[in-house]
Amino acid sequence: MSTVIEYKCPHCGAILEFDPSLQQMRCPYCDSSFSVEDASQDVKIESEAAELDNEQFGSEGEGFGLYNCSSCGAEIIADETTAATHCPYCSSPVILTGRIADELKPDLIIPFEVSREEAKLALKKHFKDKKLLPKVFTDENHLDEIKGVYLPFWLFDTEASCDARYKTTKINTWTDGRNNYTETKEYAVDRSGTLGFDNIPVDALKNVENDLTESLEVFDISKAVPFNTAYLSGYFANRFDDKMEDCFRRAKERIVNSITSSVDSTVTGYSSVNRLSCNVRLYNTRSHYAMFPVWILNTSWRGQHYLFAMNGESGKFVGNLPLDKGRYWLKRIIYGLIIAAVIFIVWSFFSGRLPL
Amino acid sequence: MKKLRFFILLLAFMCLFTSVAYAVSAETLDYGGCNIIYLRIEGHSGSIQNEADRYMIENGYADEDSIMLLVDTREREYYIDTSGRCIQLFPDKTLYRIEDSFLPYLKNNDWNGAGNTFFNSCISVIQNGNAPSSPNQTVIQALVSLAAGLLAGGLPLSKAKKDLISVRKKVSAYDYERRNSFALTRSTDTFLTRHVACVPIPRNDNRSGGGFSGSTMHSSGGHSFGGHGGKF
């Protein structure tokens, strides 16, 4: 058995949602607002929910849960990572606490600060000043879906130490009028250094690509608060399905690049530097489980789907756009011919063929 | 008498076995204050450069602004000799291009075609201060320019193309480094080897000296000449 949480307005009985602009729980019908703490104590309604009957759904139903919407009574089926969703019939926010309880409970959450309207405006702004974006894309593409999602992240704190060895050279040249001399001195250079890292995020959902969430960085961790289910009301949320150990591999890749770059920067005063070996060790590693706010926008154009995302805290907007291939090649040929003409004229001039 | 007969016989032998320049034809054009001479010979003694200098001096062209193409049709050699202002007007690279324009005719024994091309090339240089290129050279230059242009044509668009892509993996964890936490715990630099390479500076034997922009020069009979030649 699992629990469903809803935050009902004590004045009108509608479901409260977290409002990013107020940073409070707000009733969308009577406009009443409550602090997150008050809502958690006074208006929280918990009800039991049943796991999905596997006999009815077979093996395909494994890991899915069956819940009843307390607003309309409809049955909601949610997959094993869904922690917050909406009733597909009455659109009421539903929070499934079984997915975020006990060891699955996040340590921290950064509440949404950017509203849905701001996300829509950011999408339009994202299309502006893109010279190679198909002109019809802005007019013809349709916003299929916009979802405020709390994505699960593993955060890693660690200390790193690096031992690196380099082969370097110093080159000195001089002349005595008859000969040119080149002196090459070779050195063996050793450097060791330590560096600390705090809160390196790695998204903990297997079906979300790392490059998308890393493009949204940086999430300001100073705005994180202790986790409270009230922040999920009105949004979607998923619990992690990627283990901490697996996610740490990605964090380690970035840590190794960072500390190696820092140690490399201390090798100065040489004509050439060639790193021979580098050994990085991590220690005092700790992990936290957090939820970060992300607006996900799905659009479609000419049968293709385009995914955009916005950092729900900083407002950073990312998403790859299509290339107008016709315009690109036309411009490339025009620029190419202009450059070719310039090369031809300059070449002719310097080879003494043109009286410029 | 015997001595005289022996002397005459010796002279006859010398004439027989010594290559003496024999002028087949000489064409001269005065254009823009420059003498343009096209001389064909069949055989010559000494180097073809000396032969060209000798002709220029003996005919008074060495004292004026002159350019001459000397072609030995028997030895299949040619030499372009320049004097006076033509030394500067026809620098080496211009002479090379003029050569490129008439050499195909020489290779086909088209002596008149070579002469006409030489005259036209010289007139073009005197008119513009430049030499026309051979058609092949122009085509190659145009094709190379076009290829380079089409390749480089993508550069002005690279930023606009890059603007469309905003989803990228982060390479490092720079944003999460603890401020001022980097500590260098070991730093050793050990000298290993020293190697000195010595390269002699090439000597410049060009008699024209530094800063001269004309063709490679030589002196003959108290006159200065520029020029270049070769075989075909």
Reported as a single tens digit per residue, the pLDDT across B43-60 is 888 888 888 999 999 888
Chain B residue at shortest CA distance from A308: B167
> In angstroms, what separates the C-alpha of A283 from chain B's closest C-alpha?
15
State pTM to two decimals. Answer: 0.68
pLDDT of residue B139: 83
List Cβ neighbours of A41 (8 Å cut-off, separation of 6 or more).
none
Task: Out of B35-39, B128-132, B195-199, pick the least confident.
Answer: B128-132
Query: Is residue B133 scored above 70 in pLDDT?
Result: no
Angle at A315 between CA A314 and CA A321, to 5 degrees: 135
- Nearest-CA distance from A7 to chain B in Å? 36
Residues B93-119 have a mean pLDDT of: 90
Q: Which of B93, B183, B199 sits opposite A351 (nearest CB)?
A: B93
More confident position, A81 or B76: B76
Of B91, B150, B191, the CB nearest to A185: B191
For residue B130, list chain A residues with Cβ-Cβ distance below 8 A.
352-355
Is A59 a residue whose pLDDT tops 60? no
* Dihedral angle, C-alpha B182, B188, B194, B200, nearest 10 °: 20
Looking at every residue in chain A, the average pLDDT score rounds to 86
Is residue B70 within 8 Å of B48, Cβ to Cβ?
Answer: yes
Q: Which residues of B touch A183 (CB under 8 A)?
A: 194-196
CB contact under 8 A, B150 and A333: yes
Nearest residue in chain A measured CA to CA from B169: A211
| Cβ-defined contact of A332 to B150 (cutoff 8 Å) | yes
Does residue A140 register a pLDDT over 80? no
Chain A residues lying within 8 Å of B91, measured CB to CB:
352
B203 to chain A: closest CA residue = A178
Contacts of A317-320 with CB under 8 Å at 24 or more apart are A317/A119, A317/A122, A317/A123, A317/A125, A317/A126, A317/B166, A318/A212, A318/A215, A318/A216, A318/B166, A318/B167, A319/A126, A319/B166, A319/B167, A320/B164, A320/B165, A320/B166, A320/B167
| B182–A337 C-beta distance less than 8 A | no
Q: Which of residues 178-217 of A touch B (CB under 8 A)?
A: 178-200, 210-212, 214-215, 217
Confidence of residue B208 (pLDDT cuts 50, 70, 90): very low
Yes or no: say if A318 and A214 are a contact pair by the CB < 8 Å rule. Answer: no
Residue A80 identity: E
* Residue B214 pLDDT class (50, 70, 90 cuts): low
For A127, phi then psi, to 5°, come to: -80, -20
Mean pLDDT of A99-114: 87
Examine the pLDDT at A263 and tell me if it is beyond 80.
yes
Mutation site, B145, B155, B159, B165, interface A, largest A CB count within 10 A = B145
CA-based nearest distance B150→chain A, Å: 4
Could you write out the DSSP letters of every residue in A157-186? EEEEEEEEEEEEEEEEEEE-SSEEEEEEEE
Tell me the longest C-alpha to C-alpha distance in chain B. 117
| Digit-coded pLDDT (tens) for A25-54 | 888 888 888 888 887 776 666 666 555 554
Helices vs strands, H then E, count in chain A: 7, 17
Locate B150 and state its tokens: 């089409």
Asked if the model's pLDDT at residue B176 lies above 80, the reply is: yes
The dihedral built from the CA positions of residue A13, A14, A16 and A20, taken in this order, carries a sign that is negative
Chain A residues with CB-CB distance to B184 below 8 A: 191-193, 263, 266
In angstroms, the first-to-last Cα distance of chain A is: 88
